[in-house]
Chain A
Amino acid sequence: NAGVTQTPKFQVLKTGQSMTLQCAQDMNHEYMSWYRQDPGMGLRLIHYSVGAGITDQGEVPNGYNVSRSTTEDFPLRLLSAAPSQTSVYFCASSSYGYKDMSLAKNIQYFGAGTRLSVL
């Protein structure tokens, strides 16, 4: 039961470098999303996907790209890293689109996070 797996756990980049944060889930969830967590600001949604081939922007999408070629994977790309992107990044997944009103359904599960520093 791996759940949501994020790699790497830590990363240091120089301004202008690019990198991809990996996220994989093994629960066959349709919905996947990326958040960033900054002190005093909670978690803010970057991008999300409701299924393979479908992505959309969240609250703070600038500077980030995503794609969803499979149900399992949802990588987040930083094309040209900036110091303002120093943050902790979390990936989450859930089942989606069910009409079951039970609160036990469609829970969002989070990965352990990637701590990114951009110098």
Chain B
Amino acid sequence: QQQVKQSPQSLIVQKGGIPIINCAYENTAFDYFPWYQQFPGKGPALLIAIRPDVSEKKEGRFTISFNKSAKQFSLHIMDSQPGDSATYFCAASKEQGGKLIFGQGTELSVKP
């Protein structure tokens, strides 16, 4: 079964827009929620991560919003740029450094 569900599958925004990618999880034992960014031909790289004891985490133009009661979390990209065009994956784990369960991925395209 898909333990982490991600939407949308693809997203197109104009430069300066605020794309939002959503994820929902089922297992309440998950304790660590990272987002990974992947450029074509490259491996995923950690972008930002959050633990469930906070509702929001911001790093530069990237923000994670976390709703523990709804078992949902989302990635917001402020002032998006063409260089942000990539595939984004949410993930969840019961422990940092351990097994990651990934969402299906969102292909983001930021138009100039």
Contact = CB atoms under 8 A, between A and B. Distances in A.
Contacts of A59: 101
17 contacts: A35-B102, A42-B89, A42-B102, A42-B103, A42-B105, A43-B44, A43-B102, A59-B101, A90-B44, A92-B43, A94-B97, A96-B97, A96-B98, A110-B44, A112-B43, A113-B41, A113-B43
Contacts of B45: 109-110
Contacts, number: 69
Given A42-B6, A103-B49, A111 B43 contact: yes
Interface of B: 4, 6, 9, 34, 36, 41-46, 49-51, 89, 96-105
B96 A48 contact: no
A15 B36 CA distance: 33
Contacts of A113: 41-43
A87 interface: no
Main SS of the interface on chain B?
A: loop
Interface of A: 4, 31, 33, 35, 40-45, 48, 58-59, 90, 92, 94-98, 101, 103, 105-113
A58 B99 contact: yes
Given A41-B104, A43-B89, A103-B51, A98 B97 contact: yes
A111 B43 CA distance: 6
Given A95-B97, A103-B51, A108-B46, 20 more contacts: A33-B100, A35-B102, A40-B9, A42-B89, A43-B89, A43-B100, A45-B99, A90-B44, A94-B96, A96-B98, A103-B50, A106-B97, A107-B49, A107-B97, A108-B97, A108-B100, A109-B46, A110-B43, A112-B41, A112-B42
Contact of A48 (B9, B99, B101, B103): B99
Contacts of A111: 43
A97 to B, nearest CB: 7
Given A42-B104, A43-B89, A43-B102, A106 B96 contact: yes
Contacts of A58: 99
Contacts of B97: 31, 94-98, 105-108
Contacts of B102: 35, 42-44
